Amino acid sequence: MRAILPHYFLCLIIFLFGCEKSRTPAPVDLPNDLEVEACLIGVSSDTFEIMTWNAERFPLDGDFSISQIQKIISKQDPDLIAFQELTSKTVFDKLADSLEEWKSQLLISGDLNLGFLYKTSEVSIIENINPILEGNLYALPRAPVKLVAKHRDGIEVNLINIHLKCCGGMENIARRDSASRLIKDYIDENLNAEPVILLGDYNDLIYGHPDNENPFSNFIEDEENYVFTDMEIAMGNRQYWSYPGWPSHIDHILISDELFDLWAGTTTVTYDICDDRYFKYISDHRPLIIKLVK
């Protein structure tokens, strides 16, 4: 018996150390960072840059998506972002915490939510995020949210972030038409003399419909009071449309007449042209940026 004890204990030691080693998680090989530098839009401290971004069930690929959006925001450096398709307040706050001088505002109302990120050194919040037009589930299955923000140069705007009913077919077009009428009535009645930006995922075209099928004709025809700042994009080359997978241009930025003289351009940001992994890790939508200058 004594002759086999050393061998027994040696086997036991090997077994225990082997088990301990096997419990150490294997390193995870993460993809390299997205290379989007050549596709960034130039910004300036003299302009108020506002982005709208459907981030497709953010975070599309977990922590890697969070880290990549954080790096894109840091490089792009807008002043404020209106997001659509946010799935978690905790995760959205994590994104904000990873960005120096940024804060978040988000309302959870379902599985796809609307929120804002803003750079505190550039933007102050005059009125916190609030839902509007709640309870109109036929027209607005996701209630719009409103935030009042002021840039350090003095430009103050009412931002209304929307994500309208998706998909084709006359029924869905009718629902978006109803949403457009409700939203315009709300702005006309409550914000008639105030600067307004209505931005987000409209889920429909502003150009290219037969005249009687354009759900946003009420805004387009009221050209004295409203303009789609991305109309030229919608009428132009599909290379710059916001939803290239279809392809179509369905994300829009509309401004009221109080901002006509401050509008300095609107651009689709084509990060995917620099790195086509954008669609795998970030979103099926491209963001748009509007610039305002006083």
DSSP string covering the chain: -TTTHHHHHHHHHHHHHHHHHHTSPPPP-PPPPP--GGGPPP--TTEEEEEEEEEEEESTTHHHHHHHHHHHHHHH--SEEEEEEE--HHHHHHHHHTSTTEEEEEE-SSSSEEEEEEETTTEEEEEEEEE-STT-TTT-SS--EEEEEEETTS-EEEEEEEE---S-SHHHHHHHHHHHHHHHHHHHHHSTTS-EEEEEE--S-SSSS-GGG-TTHHHHH-TTTEEETTHHHHHS-GGG-SBTTTTB--EEEEEEGGGGGGEEEEEE--HHHH-TTHHHHT-SS--EEEEEE-
In a domain, 110, yes or no: yes
* Residue 17 pLDDT exceeds 50: no
- Give the model confidence (pLDDT) of 231-258 as tens digits: 999 999 999 999 999 999 999 999 999 9
In a domain, 21, yes or no: no
* Residue 106 pLDDT exceeds 50: yes
* Residue 11 pLDDT exceeds 50: no
Q: Is there a contact between 85 and 110 (Cβ–Cβ < 8 Å)?
A: no
> Does 286 or 17 have the greater pLDDT score?
286
* Residue 289 pLDDT exceeds 70: yes
Q: What pLDDT, on the 0 to 100 scale, is given for residue 29? A: 65
Q: What pLDDT, on the 0 to 100 scale, is given for residue 210? A: 80
What average pLDDT does the structure give for the chain?
92
* Residue 20 pLDDT exceeds 90: no
The pTM (predicted TM-score) of the whole model is 0.90
Band of pLDDT at residue 19, cut at 50, 70 and 90: very low
Band of pLDDT at residue 5, cut at 50, 70 and 90: very low
In a domain, 150, yes or no: yes
CA distances for 286 relative to 69, 143, 146, 199, angstroms? 12, 22, 22, 13
Q: What pLDDT, on the 0 to 100 scale, is given for residue 28? A: 54
Percent of all residues in the chain with a pLDDT value above 70, rounded to a whole number: 90
Q: What pLDDT, on the 0 to 100 scale, is given for residue 235? A: 98
The stretch 183-206 carries a mean pLDDT of 98
* Residue 18 pLDDT exceeds 50: no
In a domain, 140, yes or no: yes
In a domain, 7, yes or no: no
Q: What pLDDT, on the 0 to 100 scale, is given for residue 36? A: 98
* Residue 84 pLDDT exceeds 60: yes
In a domain, 278, yes or no: yes
**Domain residues for 60?**
30-293
Angle at 293 between CA 113 and CA 129, to 5 degrees: 25
In a domain, 198, yes or no: yes
Number of domains the chain is built from? 1
CATH number of the domain enclosing 127: 3.60.10.10
In a domain, 230, yes or no: yes
